[in-house]
Amino acid sequence: MLNQNQTPLLDTLKACAERPHAPFYTPGHKRGQGISQSLVDVFGKTVFQADLPELTELDNLFAASGVIQQAQQLASEAFGSSQTWFLVNGSTCGIEAAILATCGTGDKIILPRNVHSSAIAGLVLSGAIPIFVNPEYDSVLDIAHSITPSNLEAALRQHPDAKAVFMVYPTYYGVCGDIRAIASLAHQYNMPLLVDEAHGAHFAFHPQLPIPALAAGADLTVQSIHKTLGALTQASMLHVQGDRIDRERISKALQLVQSTSPSYLLLASLDTARQQMAIYGKELMSRTLQLAEEARTRISQIPGLSVLDLTPNPSPQAASGVKSLGFIALDRTRLTVTVSGLGLTGFAAEEILDQQLGVTAEFASLQHLTFIISLGNTQQDIEQLVQAFTKLAMTSPPKSEAFLGIQEKSSHVLWDNLFMMGDAMCISPREAFFAATEILPIQETTERICAEIVCPYPPGIPVLMPGEIITHTALEYLRQIQSMGGFISGCADSSLSTLKVVKI
Ligand SMILES: Cc1ncc(COP(=O)(O)O)c(C=O)c1O
């Protein structure tokens, strides 16, 4: 057992920042001496004194043998891995490296269709061929959940030669699929399970939170420490356990996708976020869970509002009493409030909350608003959130027809048809990325090869990926999502007047 009270990286950085010397190295502001006064006015001077390069005492991120290695070992113990790498380019670079380290050009990887764009970047960089598995989809709430063991098993039987299985755990909504069963299936086929746990860095620190990916059997997991814990934006970690992952390849891949000038402010924030959680994690998470529970209870009592829970609203699954295997646990610190009962879209509610009521959500979708409740939130924040929703409901009283109205327009009818089409991948995402492309009016793109991601919200599942054939059904689906008030992300023209396609 290591002494988790230590912060070797922070301590050494502090000593270097305080040691008087004439600096003839990067960065050019020389420990804040040359920094613009307007920046000092906002941030103060101390932070710039610690903005140092890889001085001898500060170790080297890509050949760690000193204080970075010590800090990574402490993190490995605290998060339950065999080896941990600190990341300065977000989980984005960790996910890219995970794919690069397990798949070469032409290798297959099984992954959910609702992956984050960093996984698509990993496909482009590696040249891997995606075998997409559709996630479970709650058609009433219009939310995509996790892939299920049975969907994965079908893909594994069809593609036993794939090199890895990749899953998102939890989803942006805090929804967790059956990761134990998924890990065990991947291992039966001798494949490693790679996990995008960007939103689950806090799971290891409280028994009432969902099981962490590593404890459930994942071989590799990537966590945005900055998203739910106390690290600076971009500061993330990649953890590995067991022997299914080649650790040398991870180190090599991380060198490809990260800066050779890693920020020590970010690295030190990883060291201290780990210390904070190792020492106070359970207490901090108990308080966070308590705050989240209070917000859930009080908001769900406001007429016209409901809160995403493990037995979702009147969904077909819940009605028939069958638990969705794409939703077996919920991170209760993630709060998704359905506002469509007020006759408002999530987008409209977000604007009112943000601009008139002083509350800012993480993101909005057609029917919902999602809030991240973390160790940084206070009782006062929760009070403000509940008051804001109370006022919102008073100014937009529940409309019995409204919820049904939005639901009737829900995309699920179309959704069912969309992915009956089977495998539409024509060339690999990498080939599509490097191909000559052209931008065409959308009506002229049917049967052409798509050169960009086209992802509607809701439900946040890409309808088109680079390398896929554009079908009439896909375009019709996108048009209907737009007419419902949804928005399209991932592509250059979000109005969808035009689409980028591969030139013939
Ligand atoms: C599910 C998911 N995976 C990965 C990422 C990328 O994480 P980062 O912002 O740390 O690069 C995000 C970011 O929003 C995400 O939501």
Mutational test site, ligand 1, from 85, 89, 91, 175, max ligand atoms within 8 Å of CB: 91
- pLDDT tens by residue, 153-210: 999 999 999 999 999 999 999 999 999 999 999 999 999 999 999 999 999 999 999 9
d(CA 40, CA 480): 50
Tell me how many domains the chain contains.
2
Q: Is 146 in the pocket of ligand 1 (CB under 6 A)?
A: no
Q: Is 169 in the pocket of ligand 1 (CB under 6 A)?
A: no
- Phi, psi dihedrals of residue 85, rounded to the nearest 5°: -115, 135
Q: Is residue 352, in this structure, part of any structural domain at all?
A: yes
In angstroms, what is the span from residue 91 Cα to ligand 1's centroid? 6
Q: In ligand 1, which atom is closest to the CA atom of 236?
A: 10
Q: Is 428 in the pocket of ligand 1 (CB under 6 A)?
A: no
d(CA 277, CA 282): 8
d(CA 100, CA 86): 17
DSSP class of residue 449 equals: B
Same domain, 312 and 352: yes
Model confidence at 415, pLDDT cuts 50, 70, 90, reads low
| pLDDT of res. 322 | 44
Model confidence at 419, pLDDT cuts 50, 70, 90, reads low
In angstroms, what is the span from residue 139 Cα to ligand 1's centroid? 24
pLDDT, average across residues 40-67: 97
Boundaries of domain holding 463: 412-502
Pairing mode of beta strands 236-240, 83-87: antiparallel
Q: In ligand 1, which atom is closest to the CA atom of 234?
A: 10
* C-alpha 406 chain-centroid distance: 27
Strands, E, within 297-403: which ranges? 306-307, 329-330, 334-338, 363-364, 368-372
Residues 203/210, Cβ–Cβ less than 8 Å: yes
Residues 221/197, Cβ–Cβ less than 8 Å: yes
- pLDDT tens by residue, 278-324: 999 999 999 999 999 999 999 999 999 999 998 744 444 443 334 57
Name the domain boundary from 377, 403, 429.
403
d(CA 231, CA 434): 36
Q: Is residue 163, in this structure, part of any structural domain at all?
A: no
Same domain, 444 and 483: yes
Q: Is 228 in the pocket of ligand 1 (CB under 6 A)?
A: no
Q: Is residue 126, in this structure, part of any structural domain at all?
A: no
Q: Is residue 455, in this structure, part of any structural domain at all?
A: yes
- List 370's β-bridge partners, or say none: 336, 363
| pLDDT of res. 336 | 97
Q: Is 92 in the pocket of ligand 1 (CB under 6 A)?
A: yes
- pLDDT tens by residue, 365-397: 889 999 999 999 999 999 999 999 999 999 988
In angstroms, what is the span from residue 222 Cα to ligand 1's centroid? 9
Q: Is 120 in the pocket of ligand 1 (CB under 6 A)?
A: no
Mean pLDDT score of the chain, rounded to an integer?
92
Q: How far is CA 292 from each of CA 317, 344, 372, 451, rounded to the nearest angstrom?
A: 25, 23, 9, 41
In angstroms, what is the span from residue 209 Cα to ligand 1's centroid? 20
Q: Is 198 in the pocket of ligand 1 (CB under 6 A)?
A: yes
What is the CATH number for 485? 3.90.100.10
d(CA 137, CA 382): 30
CA dihedral 260, 431, 148, 94 (to 10 degrees): 0
- pLDDT tens by residue, 97-124: 999 999 999 999 999 988 998 999 999 9
Same domain, 309 and 395: yes
Residues 398/303, Cβ–Cβ less than 8 Å: yes
Same domain, 341 and 397: yes
Three-state SS string over 73-118 comes to: HHHHHHHCCCEEEEECCHHHHHHHHHHHHHCCCCCEEEEECCCCHH
DSSP class of residue 424 equals: -
Q: Is residue 58, in this structure, part of any structural domain at all?
A: no
Q: Is residue 345, in this structure, part of any structural domain at all?
A: yes
What is the CATH number for 372? 3.90.1150.10
